[in-house]
Structure 1
Amino acid sequence: MTATGAQAADAVPAGSSGNGAAPGGGTAGTAGGPATAPPSDNTATGAISHDEAARRWRLVLGRYAAEKLEVGSGDQRLDSTLGYLYDREYQARGHAAGRGGKGRGGPGSLDGSQPHGVDLTALGWLGEARSLFPRETFERMQVEAVGRYGLTELLRDPATVEAMEPSRELATALLQVRGKLDDSMAAGVRRVIERVVEDVVRRLKPRFLTAMGGRVDRSRRSMHKVARNFDWKRTLRANLGRVDGSGRMMIQDVRFNARQKRALTWDVIVLVDQSGSMAASLLYSAVCAGILSGLPGIEVRLVLFDTSVVDMSHLAHDPVGVLLTAQLGGGTDIAKAVRFAEQQVRNPSRTVVALVSDFYEGGSVSELLAAVKRLRSSGVTLLGLAALDESAEPIYDQGTARHLAEAGMEVAALTPERFAEWLGEVLS
């Protein structure tokens, strides 16, 4: 009986030599990587010994294997760190504690035995896990600690919160369990989400600034010498007389294009599905709306929906406020959200409606398609985003997506970076 798949894959500490066999016949890759075929029983191919295989099985199985497999002296810290988190799996399944002595914990307790000098409070566990595992594995263990095992004491202590590694996955897990947390964790949740949002904004904002920098004006030269304004065709023509005998061109006159600023304001209406499966998309949508709100010439309306529609435009500039206000879960009525957007249109030819959803419509598909057709015929530009996270591997209702495309909505699976580029093309 294994604790979890993650424990099985990641039981090898950072710094171990090679990729030894993990339970299930695969190999435990570093940083939580995917399992691969086991090596053959040959030293030249990196096959592991019987003792090493037993060691790994012991780390995976935990204290339930204590009577048959002992923990080596060098694995005490690793065993206790794994046990602090993954023994909770046994507890959740209703298993009683096994006999003490060789394994983790003792009769009537699921608390792990602690080697000398090891602090397995929440903060101590966090430090141990960070030092023993590669970063990607550590990040995944944080997510499971909060999202799967309810290790919410991590969020009560400010020092522990600062020690956590901010990641999209961690923020997503917090958004999904936020409604179950008490007030003592509110500050911790806010701080983690703030750190994740800051990181995402730092990465995405330059892409939006570049994409929204105005339309290229090739009739005028620019004194603003930046890469995005570089005019390679004019530069080549201007330096044709500087080609040496070997065919190399000496570039002395570098040309740049000017950019026309948008004279008219665009309305960008972002409709975000906040059903339970959309946490990651909600995170990126809130950040994108926040960035857009700070750009000149763009008016942003941010709307969250499930079976109800909530206008969050007053918080569009504050992604953290949006995320802490959103209520993930419930059904989905896309038609209602699109009809709401229809009522907000002031100048159809200067309006973009971006729908972020998995397209699993719980309302009327025919009403949804009718609203999309009306918007399209009026001149509104429509984009359906099947995903708005970094993986760009969405799971969505392909039938509804196809019908939306036929009704005039451009449907795509875009990363946030590509969404910025698409929006820049539309608004140019």
Structure 2
Amino acid sequence: MRRWRLLLGEVAEDSTGTLGSASDSAMDAALAALYDRRTGDAGDARAAGLGASAPRVARWLGDIRTYFPTSVVQVMQRDAMDRLGLTQLLLEPEMLDTVEPDVHLVGTLLSLNRVMPETTKASARTVVDKVVRSVEERIAQHTRAAVSGALDRASRTSNPKLRDIDWDRTIRANLAHYLPEYRTVVPERLIGYGRKARAVKRDVVLAIDQSGSMASSVVYASVFGAVLASMQALRTSLVVFDTAVVDLTEKLADPVDVLFGTQLGGGTDINRAIAYSQSLITRPTESLFVLISDLYEGGIRAEMLRRVAAMRDSGVQVVVLLALSDDGAPSFDRENAAALAGLGIPAFACTPDRFPDLLALALERGDVAAWSRSL
């Protein structure tokens, strides 16, 4: 009954009974301030009580961090910005010191980057840095391991030195040559790894749509780009685009710098972004192009599809991600996604936790389309 009372609010007390403790009452007040919608004399719906008062909001943010787990706090913060229009308060440094950092908050801050006063930017950068480091800890090790393994497997040789033999693959490939009398396999073909070289083995180009709906994808893709850029076997380029294209490759050493170089919102010209990305590809058969976009094209659609097809025909491995986030099914242009699928180019959403496996498969030139259908 206590949980139902907290869920339904004060109007349910006749059925659920009253709350029995001061902490429950405080929790109820925090929920009511955001979710309780009442009808005034004029018939207009209004919130129960945050308004646009910075001190009151600061106290409320402190309360929800006291009474709810971090994951719930992050949801309530997003709801407060959506339902009560509190985004403008994030331009005040003291407010940023009280919020719970998460990927969605970073997206909101980046969208405010151009109007943010200098007194707020230092606090905003601290929040963004905290989230980026958390994401990096979550994905870096898996990404490096998956990509390194893929590059090693891609450099298999049929004439390996003894220390480079892949015994598991060699035995599997020669099971037909098992000799029962000797209880052993006599391999006719050895499979092994080529010696690791310092040379760049693959080129990766990430092109990221900066439209407002892609905020979470921009955050994750920037961190992945920084991780990939730290690997000597890869040459990684990162471009972001709206109606213009900005090359942020030189900032990849620090994903926070990458994020503050973006400008969320505005139109979208995917065709222009692909044209620029093509200019970065000098070894088509050794290149992977990842386009992260919801495919709502404001440029020339036919030209966009022609460029993607030409890139694929030249030998580039092309993958289109409709979203790189934990948000679930994204909104996207289904007609453009279907057209890409008709060209044999997979277009699908991917969570950050699965992206390293996607990279590994793509770098090995595996069947990404089949893999995407298993998601």
Fold shared per TM-score above 0.5: yes
What residue identity is the alignment partner of 2:144?
L
Matched, 1:367 2:292: no
For 1:188-337, list aligned pairs within 5 A. 188-213=123-148, 214-216=151-153, 261=196, 263-337=199-273
Residue 280 of structure 1 and its aligned partner are, at CA, apart by 0.8
* Aligned-partner residue type, residue 345 of structure 2: M
SS at match of 1:128: helix
Partner of 2:291: 355
Deviation at 1:111, TM superposition (A): 9.3
Could you tell me whether the CA contact under 8 Å between 2:113 and 2:263 is conserved in 1?
A: no
Give the distance between the partners of 2:256 and 2:146, measured in 1 at CA: 24
- For residues 374-393 of structure 1, what are the structure 2 equivalents within 5 Å? 374-393=310-329
Aligned residue runs from structure 1 range 40-189, under 5 A: 50-51=13-14, 53=16, 77-78=26-27, 81-82=30-31, 123-145=58-80, 148-150=84-86, 156-157=92-93, 161=96, 164-189=99-124
One-letter amino acid matched to 1:201: E
- SS of the residue corresponding to residue 352 of structure 1 reads strand
Kept in 2, the 8 Å contact 1:267–1:299? The answer is yes
Distance 1:193 1:401, change over 3 A: same
Deviates most, 386-395 or 370-379: 386-395
Alpha carbons 2:223, 2:255 under 8 Å: kept: yes
1:30-45 aligned within 5 A: none
Relative to 1, partners in 2 of residues 1:273 and 1:94: Cα closer, same or farther, differing over 3 Å? farther
Q: In 2, Cα distance between the equivalents of 1:376 and 1:308?
A: 23
**1:155/1:188 contact within 8 Å kept:** no
Once the two structures are TM-superposed, the CA of residue 176 in structure 1 deviates from its matched residue by: 3.1
Match of 2:338 among 395, 402, 406: 402
Distance 1:156 1:362, change over 3 A: closer
CA contact (8 A) 1:221 1:258 kept: no
8 Å CA contact 2:206, 2:238 repeated in 1:
yes
For the 8 Å contact 1:85–1:149, the answer to whether it is kept is no
- Percent identity, aligned pairs only, is 31
Deviations 1:43-102 (A, max 9, x none): xxxxx984465758xxxxxxxxxxxxxx996665346545766799999x998999xxxx
Query: Aligned residue for 2:176?
Result: none
Q: Which moved more, 1:72-81 or 1:397-406?
A: 72-81
- Give the drift of 1:425: 2.5
SS of the aligned residue for 1:342 comes to helix
Contact 1:87–1:110 (CA<8 Å) still a contact in 2? no
Distance 1:341 1:221, change over 3 A: same
Aligned equivalents of 2:102, 2:167: Cα separation in 1:
35
Higher relative contact order (CA 8 A, sep 6+): 2
Aligned residues: 335
Give the letter aligned to residue 240 of structure 2.
Answer: L
What residue ranges of structure 1 are gaps of 5+ in the alignment? 1-15, 29-47, 57-70, 99-103, 113-119, 224-228, 236-256
Mapped to 2, the partners of 1:343 and 1:97 lie a distance apart of: 53
When residues 187 and 330 of structure 1 are mapped into structure 2, their CA distance, relative to the original with a 3 A threshold, is same
Q: 1:385 Cα shift? A: 0.6
Partner secondary structure for residue 290 of structure 2:
strand
Amino acid at match of 2:341: A
The superposition leaves residues 150-181 of structure 1 with CA deviations (integer Å, 9 ceiling, x where unpaired) of 266566557x6455432222222322344443
Q: Give the letter for the 2:26 counterpart.
A: R
- How far apart, CA to CA, are the structure 2 residues paired with 1:199 and 1:87? 33
Does the 8 Å CA contact 1:84/1:111 hold for their aligned counterparts? no
- Which structure's CA Rg is the greater one? 1
In 2, distance between residues paired with 1:288 and 1:425? 16
Give the direction of change, closer, same or farther, for the CA distance of 1:151–1:379 in structure 2 (3 Å limit). Answer: closer
Q: Is the 8 A contact 2:200 2:235 kept in 1?
A: no
- Counterpart of 1:295 in structure 2: which amino acid? M
Distance (Å, rounded) in 1 between the aligned partners of 2:283 and 2:46: 67
Compared CA separation, residues 146 and 209, structure 1 to 2 (3 A): same
How large is the RMSD of aligned CA atoms in angstroms?
4.2
Q: Partner of 1:384: helix, strand, or coil?
A: strand
Q: Which amino acid aligns with 1:338?
A: I
Match of 2:179 in 1: none
Relative to structure 1, the CA distance from residue 351 to residue 97 in structure 2 (aligned partners, 3 Å threshold; closer, same or farther) is: closer
Looking at structure 1, the residues matched to 234 and 39 of structure 2 have their Cα atoms a distance apart, in angstroms, of 53
Partners of 1:292 and 1:300 within 8 A in 2: yes
Cα 1:127–1:301, aligned 2, differ >3 Å: closer, same or farther?
Answer: same
CA positional deviation for 1:210: 1.3
Counterpart residue number, 1:11? none
CA distance in 2, matches of 1:153, 1:363: 35
- Rounded to whole Å, the distance in 2 between the matches of 1:371 and 1:171 is 33
Q: What is the one-letter code of the residue matched to 1:308?
A: A
Query: How far does the alpha carbon of each residue in 1:229-269 deviate from its partner, in whole angstroms, 9 at most, with x for none?
Result: 9959979xxxxxxxxxxxxxxxxxxxxx9786365432111
Q: Distance in 2 between matches of 1:97 and 1:329?
A: 29
Name the residue aligned to 1:250: none
Aligned partner of residue 332 in structure 1, secondary structure: coil
Give the Cα–Cα distance (whole angstroms) in 2 for the partners of residues 50 and 281 of structure 1. 43
Counterparts of 1:177 and 1:185 in 2: how far apart (Å)? 11
State the AA in 2 paired with 1:311: D
Matched residue, 1:10: none
Q: Does residue 422 of structure 1 match 2:353? A: no
